[in-house]
Chains A and B, each alone.
Chain A
Amino acid sequence: EDKVVQSPLSLVVHEGDTVTLNCSYEVTNFRSLLWYKQEKKAPTFLFMLTSSGIEKKSGRLSSILDKKELFSILNITATQTGDSAVYLCAVEETGGYQKVTFGIGTKLQVIP
C-alpha cells in the first residue's frame, strides 16, 4: 500500500526560528513530490520535486528531494506568523493515469 508519512504532526515555534518539515514516502511508480501550504480549504502549491539533490527555493522556503532514501524536507527560515498553516506533502505516481497520495500534514504554528 502506498504511503506518505509526514513529521512532525504539529510544531510550535517563535517568529524568526527556522523549521524543517519531513516527508517520507513509499509508492510504486514515483513521478514527483509536491508540497502545499493549506491555510483554509484549498492547498496552495509550493514546490514540485522530481530530481534528487536539487534544491528548490522560493523566498524563505526551500525544499529538496532524496529519491534514494525516499524523503523530502521543506525548510522555512526566519519564520513569520503568516507561515502558520498546515503543510502537506503529496506524491504523484505514473502508470497510465494520474494518482496522488497525500500525507496528513504538519501543522505549523508561529507565535510572536
Chain B
Amino acid sequence: GAVVSQHPSWVICKSGTSVKIECRSLDFQATTMFWYRQFPKQSLMLMATSNEGSKATYEQGVEKDKFLINHASLTLSTLTVTSAHPEDSSFYICSASDREGSEKLFFGSGTQLSVL
C-alpha cells in the first residue's frame, strides 16, 4: 500500500529556532498534502492544505508566516515552524492524497516537537 514517510519522528529545540518537518510519499505522487496538529485524545486539527507547485491554503487561525509550507515536488512537502516557542510543542502529522478530491488519505507517523 501507499506509504508516507515523515521525518524527523522527534525533535527537541530551543525557543527561537526554526524546525523543518518533511513529509514524503514513497510510492505514489501526492498532488495534495495536508498538515495537522494533534493534541491527545482529540481530533486532528487541520493546519493547511498544500498542492504541488502552488501556495498552501491555511485554515483560519493558523499563521502562515509562522508555519511555512513548501510543496516543491509531487513527493515532498515540508512544514517549517519558524521561531518556535514552547506553545508550538505538539504532535504534527501529515497526510497525502494521490489525486484531487480523493477521500483516501495516507498518513505519516507524525513528528513530536518539543520546544524548550
Contacts and interface: CB of A to CB of B under 8 A. Distances in A.
Interface string A71-112: 000000000000000101010000011111110110100000
Contact of A97 (B9, B41, B104): B9
Contacts of A68: none
B28 interface: no
A32 B94 CA distance: 20
A43 B44 contact: yes
Interface bin, chain B? 20 to 34
Interface bin, chain A? 20 to 34
DSSP class of B's interface residues: helix, strand, loop or mixed? strand
A102 B107 contact: yes
A100 B103 contact: no
B43 A44 contact: yes
A11 interface: no
A38 interface: yes
B58 to A, nearest CB: 13
Contacts of A45: 41-44
A36 interface: yes
Interface of B: 1-2, 9-10, 34, 36, 38, 41-46, 49, 91, 93, 103-107, 109-110, 112
